[in-house]
A = this chain, B = another copy of it.
């Protein structure tokens, strides 16, 4: 199966920061030939930067991830950080890249009910729960990495989630506006909302999980299944 994905993590080459947004390229997901052949030293510096950023997060939290601090910790000039990642958001998203890919692999090729093999409805339920728990884990980073409205929904990882949900919805409610419905469903899994509900309202994740299940049932016009909490497909 093919999915629309950007040539991930290769931001504008700096002199041209405002390119009109390259069209997404259809590539087979899996082998990460995403790296457009970085020059040897550049690749080395990239790795050092990511490692440095991760260390800074571990030590001082996301707020400690200053572009200058990262540059210094990686023994690299500040300009290099920006050239590689575009901006702070880009750096933070690169940090999330692995976990993004993992989730993607899980629902695209992993075992049911998340992966193929289970009925679409079950997959959709499992999908939401998986996103929920994964978001809760990486919440700080996800919130800090929240890009400006323009990029928020065009980020490849987000686009992949959307495509997947659209595909499932088409099988479940073929005569609905699946594009729109998918975005609505995904909006209810927004990290900022999860943050609000869990940390500000004190709702336990289980309640959100039940909420997702219920929402899916209502939206698809099916019955909610008996409550079972087999998350983390």
Instruction: Please report A residues at the B interface, Cβ cutoff 8 Å.
Output: 143, 146, 149-150, 152-154, 176-177, 179-181, 183-184, 187-188, 190-193, 195-197, 200-201, 203, 207-208, 210-211, 214-215, 218-221
Contact A200/B146 with A184-B188, A219-B219 known, Cβ cut-off 8 Å? no
Q: Is the CB of A193 within 8 A of B183?
A: yes
Q: Is the CB of A192 within 8 A of B143?
A: no
Could you list some 8 contacts between A and B, CB below 8 A?
A: A152-B196, A153-B192, A153-B193, A153-B200, A180-B203, A181-B215, A184-B187, A187-B193
Do the beta carbons of A188 and B190 come within 8 Å of each other?
A: no
Q: Separation in Å of the A169 CB from the closest CB of chain B?
A: 12
CA gap between A153 and B201 in the complex, in Å: 10
What's the least CB distance linking A74 to chain B, in Å? 27
Quick one: copies of this chain in the complex? 2
**Other CB < 8 Å A-B pairs besides A143-B149, A180-B211, 20 of them?**
A149-B192, A150-B200, A153-B192, A153-B196, A153-B200, A176-B214, A177-B207, A177-B210, A177-B211, A179-B201, A180-B203, A180-B207, A181-B211, A183-B188, A183-B197, A184-B211, A187-B190, A215-B219, A218-B218, A218-B221
Nearest CB of B to A209, in Å: 11
The closest CB in chain B to the CB of A154 belongs to B200
- Taking CB atoms, residues of chain B closer than 8 Å to A211 are 177, 180-181, 184
Find chain B residues with CB under 8 A from A146 CB: 149
The complex places the Cα of A183 from the Cα of B152 at a distance, in Å, of 20
Q: State the Cβ distance, A25 to closest chain B Cβ, in Å.
A: 18
- Cβ of A156 to closest chain B Cβ, rounded Å: 15
State the Cβ distance, A121 to closest chain B Cβ, in Å: 14
Q: What separation, in Å, do the CA atoms of A220 and B211 have in the docked complex?
A: 14
> Complex: how many Å from CA A143 to CA B179?
23
The 4 closest A-B pairs by CB, nearest first: A187-B187, A180-B211, A184-B188, A153-B196
**What is the CA–CA distance of A191 and B44 in the complex, to the nearest angstrom?**
40
